[in-house]
Structure formats: C-alpha cells, structure tokens
Amino acid sequence: MDVTAFTILAFTLLGACFGSFLNVCVSRWPAGLSVVRPASRCPKCEREIPWHENVPVFGWLRLGGKCAGCALSISIEYPLVELSVALLWAGSAYMAGPGLDALRLATFATLMLGITLTDAKHYVIPDGFTVFGLIFLLVTSVIAFLNGASGPWFVPPIEAVYGACAGAGFIAIIGWLGEVALKKEAMGFGDATLMAVVGAAIGPTRAIITVFVAAALGATAFLCVVYPIAWMRARQQGREFEAPLVPFGVFLAPAAVGMLLAGDALLQWGGTYLGVPLQ
Ligand SMILES: [Zn+2]
C-alpha cells in the first residue's frame, strides 16, 4: 500500500472516531455538560454503553438502532454523523495528501459540521468548538509557515490574525446595525466567535465574502422553505404565524468550508468579471 492510500485509510478510521466524539460534543455542550465524564448511558434505562456497542457506525447497525437494555430507539443521526466525519477525513487526506494540511482540512471541516448541528438544533455555537478551532488554526499556521510548505487553503500566521479580527469584527458590525434597524438582537455573539475561527483559517477577504454567501444561502432557505412551511403549519393549527429564528451559523459554517476550498477561484472569477483585482 502506498503512502497516500495508507493516509486515506488511517484518516477514515480516525474520522469515524472523531465523528463519534462529535456526537458527544453536540449533545452535551449545549446542555453545559462535560464531554469527558460520565461515560455514555442510555437516556431511558441508564444502562452504560459498553465499548463494542460504541464502535462508530457498526455499533448502531449491530444493535439495529435500539438500546440493548430497553429497546429505546437510538437516532440515526449518530451513525450518520460518524459516517459523514469519516468521509470528511477521507476526503481531506485525498485532497491534501499525507501531511499537516490534511489534518487542518479535516479538523476545520469537522468543527464546522459540529457548529452547524448545534446551531441548527439548539441555537448555540459552543465555545468548545470555537476556542479549540481558533487556537488550533493559529498554532498550525505557525507550524506550516516554519516548515515552508502549505497548500492553497489556509493563510499564513499574520493573515490568520487579521482574518480572525476581520471576521469577528465584520459580523459584529452587521449584528449591531441589524439590532439598531430591527430593534431586537439580530446576531448572537456565537456568530462572532465562529467568524473569528473562519477568518483565522481563510484570511480577511474570504471571511468577509463568507458572510455574504451565508446571507444569500440563509435568505433563500428561509424565504423559500422554512417560512412557508411554518406559515402553513400555523394556518392549519389556527395559530398566528410567528417567524422562526434564523440560526445563522448553520449557513456560515458550510459557506466557510466552501470559501476555503473554492474561494480563490470565486475571487478570481469575480475580479475578472468586475475588472478589479479582488485578491
Ligand atoms: Zn436503554
């Protein structure tokens, strides 16, 4: 087996394990619980889950999606997240080859997935993801810079610091203006922490464009899908329509991964189109 194939295999297995850990983070951090202790238990019969039932994806399949103690069904979300993270890690190793960049791509994508899930389900962006992400990106940018070899995705250390400030600052300005205009909180502080992480990965220019891309995605999804469904439900149940909250992180995080992978191409295209260099 050559080095690249071995790296992809190793990353797939690692990714499945991190996916399993991501499930724990997503379900415990929003509730303010530790992700280290206690060991996983069934929420109904409190039976402790042995390691062999906790094997990513296969544990769930062998149990047929049910607790072995009380037959409480276990959400399919768990194996799906494990599988998704395994694929993200495999894809990162495939794209970047063996080395630090594969680890950075995989870690960044995993964090963004975790943030998308917690923001969608609980309207929170846990500090566990963002503080770790910011430190990880700054430290690895220095290591990559000192080693002299880095792919086209992540920015060097100084630009990472500018990016963190620009990302958090830009979304804070939008939130502040939105609050003045709408007379209610328009942006959570979590969005600013998320954009600090995004800026540290992709630098100021691509981070600011991420916000516009996410706003376009969010507006489309909410105006075309979420609001009409909520409106129809309210009508059927004879309630007054109340606009559901927009968890902006759900759109910022995937947009950031898109800008990391394709932002340069987008900027180049936009620059040619507008006749001004954007990079
Ligand atoms: Zn049980």
Which tens digits make up the pLDDT trace of 206-251? 999 999 999 999 999 989 998 899 899 999 998 888 878 889 999 9
Q: Could you tell me the distance, in angstroms and rounded to a whole number, from the CA of residue 31 to the centre of ligand 1?
A: 20
Q: Could you tell me the distance, in angstroms and rounded to a whole number, from the CA of residue 18 to the centre of ligand 1?
A: 24
Average pLDDT estimate for 169-184: 90
Q: Could you tell me the distance, in angstroms and rounded to a whole number, from the CA of residue 70 to the centre of ligand 1?
A: 4
Q: Could you tell me the distance, in angstroms and rounded to a whole number, from the CA of residue 45 to the centre of ligand 1?
A: 4
Q: Show me where the domains of the chain are located.
A: 1-98, 100-279
Q: What are phi and psi of 67, to 5 degrees?
A: -65, 135
Residue pointed to by tokens 């009508």: 235
**Cβ atoms within 10 A of the Cβ of 120, count?**
13
> Measured between alpha carbons, how far is 72 from 173 in angstroms, rounded to an integer?
46
Q: Could you tell me the distance, in angstroms and rounded to a whole number, from the CA of residue 75 to the centre of ligand 1?
A: 13
| Cβ-count burial 169-178 (b if 16+ within 10 Å, e if not) | bbbbebbeee
**Cβ atoms within 10 A of the Cβ of 152, count?**
11
Average pLDDT estimate for 9-31: 95
CB 94 within 8 A of CB 13: no
Q: Could you tell me the distance, in angstroms and rounded to a whole number, from the CA of residue 67 to the centre of ligand 1?
A: 5
Q: Could you tell me the distance, in angstroms and rounded to a whole number, from the CA of residue 61 to the centre of ligand 1?
A: 16
Q: In angstroms, how far is the first alpha carbon of the chain from the final one?
A: 40
Q: How confident is the model at residue 279 (pLDDT cuts 50, 70, 90)?
A: low
Q: What is the pLDDT, as a whole number, of residue 275?
A: 80
Q: 150: which residues sit within 8 A by CB, 6+ positions away?
A: 100, 101, 144, 156
66: helix, strand or coil: strand
